[in-house]
Amino acid sequence: MRLRARIVDPKLKGHARAYVAQAALATVALLIALSVVDLLANAVIIAAIGSTAFILFVTPSNVMATPRHVIGGHAVCLATGAIFFGLVQSSTGQSLIDSAPFLFDLAAAMAVGLGILMMALTNTEHGPAAGTALGMVVIDVTWELMVVFVASVVAMSMVHQMLRHRLRDLM
């Protein structure tokens, strides 16, 4: 019995339906995002969306699940990542990276660091959004990808807001 108590969340008792329903909501939200555009080809970005789904549907009353933090955090990190993507893709950036490849890693790390700082300064902290900043630097960013990404984050946040009175904290 003790082993079972350590493996299975004690809060599950009497709330199994909520666990299944909220996991299903997260699954549907991700399925919709993946169906719109091939986000799987951009694994870093879909990881950020998946992590956001976890926060929204497993810890729905967490401050990081509020629209300000979800949408704001991803917007801030999308912008910082896009700036560093532009620097890396510029002719000067390409020349520097060709001569010193570690500069690409430095740019990616700086995008994440600046994203974290900007989220803290704007009170839009959302942990998964740091992955957005990284993703914007390391993949080929297109306008379509950015629009679909933002729409996915906004849609998940809207679903969370509409159902927040019915969602339970599962942690």
165 burial (CB, 10 Å; 0-12 / 13-18 / 19+) is: exposed
Tell me what the mean pLDDT of segment 45-59 comes to: 90
Does residue 126 surpass a pLDDT of 90? yes
Q: What pLDDT digit, counting tens, does each position of 8-31 carry?
A: 777 777 777 888 888 888 888 767
CA distance to 57, 78, 82, 115, 157, per residue, from 133 (Å):
22, 6, 8, 6, 19
For residues 92-99, average pLDDT: 82
User: What does the pLDDT read at residue 145?
Assistant: 82
Share of the chain above pLDDT 90, in %: 43
Tokens 């108590």 found at? 5
Distance from C-alpha of 155 to C-alpha of 31, rounded to nearest angstrom: 12
Q: Are 51 and 131 in contact (CB under 8 A)?
A: yes
pLDDT of residue 2: 62
Predicted confidence at residue 60, as pLDDT, reads 95
Helices (H), 37-126: 43-58, 67-89, 91-99, 102-122
What is the per-residue pLDDT for 79? Answer: 95
Domain ranges of the chain: 2-163
Read off the pLDDT band of 53 (50, 70, 90).
very high
Written as six digits, the tokens of 100 are 């010193």
Q: Which one, of 127, 89, 92, lies nearest residue 108 by Cα? A: 89
What's at 109, amino acid-wise?
A: A
Residue bearing tokens 């570690």 = 102
CB 64 within 8 A of CB 87: no
Note the pLDDT of residue 98. Answer: 81
| Residue (of 7, 1, 18) closest to 163 by Cα position | 18
User: Mean of the pLDDT values across residues 39-62?
Assistant: 84
Say if CB 48 and CB 54 are below 8 A apart: no
CA geometry: angle at 34 spanning 134 and 70, to 5°?
Answer: 50
